[in-house]
């Protein structure tokens, strides 16, 4: 049985406020730790990559902290209702859902997020909506590990509503939801950090050809009208918007055919 984390005696507006604030703090902390970790790694493996970017990074952090509240409030309200009234299809018990469904639910959530992101992102590249809602994200030229949540509030709302909606419709075990949120966080940061962390055998493989990593998303930040999706290249390929990988990132990673040929095998 699920016990409420906020006392029943609290008036509902106060309970919602505390739940929204608590999840906002968690989202902000998650952003700070993940982006901070990968910014630190960037300094180790690509020293100087963020040189002269202090002002850009300060703006990215400000927009991202506003986004944390926009993500945190609906998630906090849904979590409060889940604990208090049993809202949502989130399962806590291991036997509540069949085991085979665990990976299936992760894939359903990732594909739904990817589909939502592809079409909303593509819409945000129409000139009026771009100026209004999406230009903020593209002010990062090139992006950094801190760009992950650097969105205008309108864009943040579009990103914040899908999972709180999905948990009412698509059953998922709480641990699978944790995996989805971890993938979303890590890929959101690493796709923007300006270098490729995955090895050549994965990025340039048949499977890699369908996955989005920094090499692919950086190309979106270079050319704008292409590579709109989030995790998979399915929609971009289907709709003819996939323009391949960022030449700069592929070369810097030593993944380019010429570079690969000139680098002796280790
Ligand atoms: Zn981006
Ligand atoms: Zn964009």
Once rounded to an integer, what is the mean pLDDT over residues 157-161? 95
Determine the distance separating the centroid of ligand 2 and the alpha carbon of 75, expressed in angstroms: 24
Is 7's pLDDT higher than 90? no
CA 227 – ligand 2 centroid, Å: 9
Reply yes or no on whether the pLDDT at 242 is more than 80: yes
The domain limits of the chain are 12-194, 196-266
| Mean pLDDT within 155-181 | 96
- Going from the Cα of 181 to the center of ligand 2, the distance in angstroms, rounded, reads 21
The predicted-structure confidence for 217-241, as pLDDT tens digits, reads as follows 999 999 999 999 999 999 999 999 9
- CA distances to 68, 89, 156, 163 from 80, rounded to whole Å, are 17, 14, 21, 15
By the 8 A CB rule, do 147 and 59 touch?
A: no
Task: Look at residue 3 in the predicted model and tell me its pLDDT.
Answer: 52
Please tell me the distance between residue 225's alpha carbon and the centre of ligand 2 in angstroms. Answer: 8
Each residue's pLDDT tens digit, 39-94: 999 999 999 999 999 999 999 999 999 999 999 999 999 999 998 888 999 999 99
How confident is the model over 13-34, as a mean pLDDT?
95
Instruction: Supply the pLDDT for residue 264.
Output: 45
Q: How confident is the model at residue 9 (pLDDT cuts 50, 70, 90)?
A: confident
Nearest alpha carbon to residue 165 among 81, 84, 66: 81
State residue 258's pLDDT score.
Answer: 58
CA–centroid distance, 248 to ligand 2, in Å, is 18
Q: How close is the Cα of 10 to the center of ligand 2, in Å?
A: 42
138 C-alpha to ligand 1 centroid (Å): 7
Per-residue pLDDT band for 261 (boundaries 50, 70, 90) equals very low
pLDDT, tens only, 113-157 = 999 999 999 999 999 999 999 999 999 999 999 999 999 999 999
Interval 178-219: pLDDT, tens: 999 999 999 999 999 999 999 999 999 999 999 999 999 999
How far is Cα 140 from Cα 146, in angstroms, rounded to an integer? 10
61 C-alpha to ligand 1 centroid (Å):
14
């Amino acid at each position: 049985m699920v016990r409420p984390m906020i006392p029943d005696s609290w008036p509902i507006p106060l309970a919602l406020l505390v739940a929204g604030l608590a999840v906002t703090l968690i989202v902000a902390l998650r952003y700070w730790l993940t982006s901070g970790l990968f910014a630190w790694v960037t300094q180790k493996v690509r020293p100087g990559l963020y040189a002269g970017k202090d002002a850009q990074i300060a703006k990215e952090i400000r927009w991202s902290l506003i986004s944390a509240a926009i993500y945190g409030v609906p998630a906090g309200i849904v979590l409060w209702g889940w604990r208090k009234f049993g809202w949502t299809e989130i399962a806590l018990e291991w036997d509540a859902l069949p085991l085979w469904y665990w990976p299936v639910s992760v894939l359903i959530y990732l594909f739904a997020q990817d589909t939502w992101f592809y079409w909303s992102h593509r819409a945000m590249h129409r000139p009026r909506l771009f100026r209004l809602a999406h230009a903020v994200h593209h002010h990062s030229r090139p992006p950094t590990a801190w760009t992950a949540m650097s969105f205008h509030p309108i864009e943040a709302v579009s990103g914040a509503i899908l999972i709180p909606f999905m948990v009412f419709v698509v059953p998922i075990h709480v641990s699978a939801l944790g995996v989805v949120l971890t993938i979303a966080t890590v890929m959101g940061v690493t796709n923007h950090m300006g270098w490729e962390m995955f090895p050549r055998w994965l990025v340039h493989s048949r499977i890699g050809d369908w996955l989005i990593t920094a090499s692919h998303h950086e190309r979106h930040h270079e050319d704008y009208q292409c590579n709109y999706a989030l995790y998979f290249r399915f929609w971009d390929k289907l709709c003819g918007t996939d323009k391949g990988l960022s030449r700069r990132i592929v070369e810097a990673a030593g993944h380019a055919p010429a570079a690969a040929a000139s680098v002796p095998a280790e």
